[in-house]
Amino acid sequence: MAAVLNPLDYRPEDAAFNADPFPLYRRMRDEDPCHWSPRLKAWVLTRYDDVRRACLDAGMSSDRLRPFFASMPTPEQERIRDIIRYLSAWMVFRDPPDHTRLRKLTASVFNVKSMHAMRPDVEEIADWLLQRIGERTQVDFIADFAGPLPALVIMRMLGVPREDLEKVKTLSDRMALFIGSSRANPEKYDIAEAATHEMAEFFRAMIAARRTQPRADLLSQLVNLRDETEGQLSEDELIATCILLLFAGHETTTNHIGNGLVALLGFPGEMARLRADPGLAAAAVEELLRYEGPSGAQVRVVAQATELHGKTLRAGDRVFLLLNAANRDERAYPDPDRLDLSRDGVPHLAFGFGTHICLGFPLARLEGQIAFPRVLDRFRRIEPAWTRLNWFDSMVFRGVSTLPIEVAR
């Protein structure tokens, strides 16, 4: 057993680690599955069974932002007033009973039926984006396709006009600086705060407009929901939920489609299989999510002290559940580093598990199932056109900001 586990100490600023974290994840699973990271000041779980169990464990709290905010000195809190105000109302950062109420209300209008009804819109938007690429042979797959597709889908569902795409993307990327970036940038909080403020005001105005003139969109349904069940979804909660759906609705799906293409390029045989048989799309999406999902980790706070692999996790300790490490656990998947579109077995954890399992997963799946076959059908040849991929310096978001490819029809 290696005595020194320094390499296991996660270094988000290390581009080499970010380029391929999987060998290190394997070591962590084998040598120290409940690892204390001094750098993160947190426990890091990497085995499938441990991560799955932690997702189901009521003793692991999702209410991690409010204690963090409360620990800040008042001037710091003032500096990120709107981030605190709205992110504290995101269901993803709440425990029952608040979580149950927020999720139940939102799911009464944002559900499998309403998501599946988006199929023609997703197809139309995907085709429009591919058509916009036209005869170009140099493509940035993120800017040209994987970025705008999910953003335009959730915007259309909510009722946000297509012309606002640039604005929404910019604000959302800036908010991501607070949520997902580990880079020590002193300005990142100010940038994220300004973006959160602007996003909230944007939805406040749209909500006011829907109150006087409802439309056939999710936003009007959310507004009515609040009106009909007065006192159940406050104005702040309504705004926060819109921001959450918009934010969660595209950042992750963009990275799923981007990471998925990188994975397929790494396994040309599997890419050829999918191209030849679009009927494999549903299985392909699940395997691509397992192989390199866009949510690298989710974070919990220990609410009740517990023991794991001989370590004591005390109340208040933070725990990183590394979904992407769990999804490559050889204890759960034979030959886990191989992409195999016909793999079966235990379900992957890319959408989380348990109470907080991704609310938007039917939509995310639908988008992937439509996107991959269409891209492969449109371009008979796709080649990487990068020398090195720049993976995000984030544990939470796994993806790249640009993905240059060369294509031929």
Q: How far is the CB of 292 from ligand HEM (least distance, A)?
A: 11
Q: How far is the CB of 334 from ligand HEM (least distance, A)?
A: 23
Q: Residues of 89-101 as b/e, b for ≥16 C-beta within 10 angstroms?
A: bbbbbbbeeebee
The verdict on 245 binding ligand HEM (CB under 6 A) reads: yes
Stretch that binds ligand HEM, among 37-45, 76-84, 353-361, 375-383 (CB under 6 A): 353-361
Looking at the Cβ atoms of 28 and 154, the one nearer to ligand HEM is 154
Stretch that binds ligand HEM, among 9-17, 124-132, 228-236, 292-300 (CB under 6 A): 292-300
Helix, strand, or coil here: 28? helix
Number of Cβ within a 10 Å radius of residue 229: 11
Q: How far is the CB of 372 from ligand HEM (least distance, A)?
A: 12
Cα–Cα–Cα angle for 70, 75, 81, nearest 5°? Answer: 65
Number of Cβ within a 10 Å radius of residue 343: 17
Among 350, 371, 405, 407, which residue interacts with ligand HEM (rule: CB under 6 A)?
A: 350
Stretch that binds ligand HEM, among 117-125, 222-230, 329-337, 355-363 (CB under 6 A): 355-363
Among 47, 226, 256, 328, which residue interacts with ligand HEM (rule: CB under 6 A)?
A: 256
**Whole-angstrom distance, CA of residue 253 vs CA of residue 295:** 10
Return the H-helix or E-strand segment holding 17.
helix 15-19
The verdict on 249 binding ligand HEM (CB under 6 A) reads: yes
Confirm if 263 and 292 have CB atoms less than 8 A apart: yes
Which of 19, 33, 64, 150 lies closest to 8 in space, CA to CA? 33
Residues 81-140 that bind ligand HEM (CB under 6 A): 91-92, 103
Which of 344, 346, 341, 340 lies closest to 327 in space, CA to CA? 346
Looking at the Cβ atoms of 31 and 121, the one nearer to ligand HEM is 121
Looking at the Cβ atoms of 95 and 340, the one nearer to ligand HEM is 95
Number of Cβ within a 10 Å radius of residue 405: 23
Rg (CA), the chain: 21
Stretch that binds ligand HEM, among 14-22, 36-44, 246-254, 386-394 (CB under 6 A): 246-254
Number of Cβ within a 10 Å radius of residue 73: 8
Q: How far is the CB of 256 from ligand HEM (least distance, A)?
A: 4
Q: How far is the CB of 391 from ligand HEM (least distance, A)?
A: 16
Return the H-helix or E-strand segment holding 312.
strand 311-313
Return the H-helix or E-strand segment holding 74.
helix 74-79
Maximum C-alpha span of the chain: 67
CA 249 to chain centre: 8
**Which residue of the chain is nearest ligand HEM when measured via CB?**
360
The verdict on 290 binding ligand HEM (CB under 6 A) reads: no
The verdict on 397 binding ligand HEM (CB under 6 A) reads: no
Among 147, 296, 352, 373, which residue interacts with ligand HEM (rule: CB under 6 A)?
A: 352
Looking at the Cβ atoms of 56 and 205, the one nearer to ligand HEM is 56
Looking at the Cβ atoms of 271 and 363, the one nearer to ligand HEM is 363
The verdict on 64 binding ligand HEM (CB under 6 A) reads: no
Among 80, 242, 302, 359, which residue interacts with ligand HEM (rule: CB under 6 A)?
A: 359
Query: At residue 67, what are phi and psi to the nearest 5 degrees?
Result: -60, -35
Confirm if 283 and 347 have CB atoms less than 8 A apart: no
Among 8, 176, 244, 271, which residue interacts with ligand HEM (rule: CB under 6 A)?
A: 244
- Which residues are within 8 A (CB) of 61 and not within 5 positions of it... i.e. 6 or more apart? 95, 300, 301, 302, 303
Helix, strand, or coil here: 306? strand
Among 62, 196, 220, 394, which residue interacts with ligand HEM (rule: CB under 6 A)?
A: 62
Among 253, 324, 327, 394, which residue interacts with ligand HEM (rule: CB under 6 A)?
A: 253
Among 48, 351, 379, 391, which residue interacts with ligand HEM (rule: CB under 6 A)?
A: 351
Looking at the Cβ atoms of 207 and 407, the one nearer to ligand HEM is 207
**Whole-angstrom distance, CA of residue 239 vs CA of residue 207:** 8
The verdict on 296 binding ligand HEM (CB under 6 A) reads: no
Residues forming contacts to ligand HEM in the complex (CB under 6 A) are 62, 91-92, 103, 154, 244-245, 248-249, 252-253, 256, 293-295, 298, 350-352, 356, 358-360, 363-364
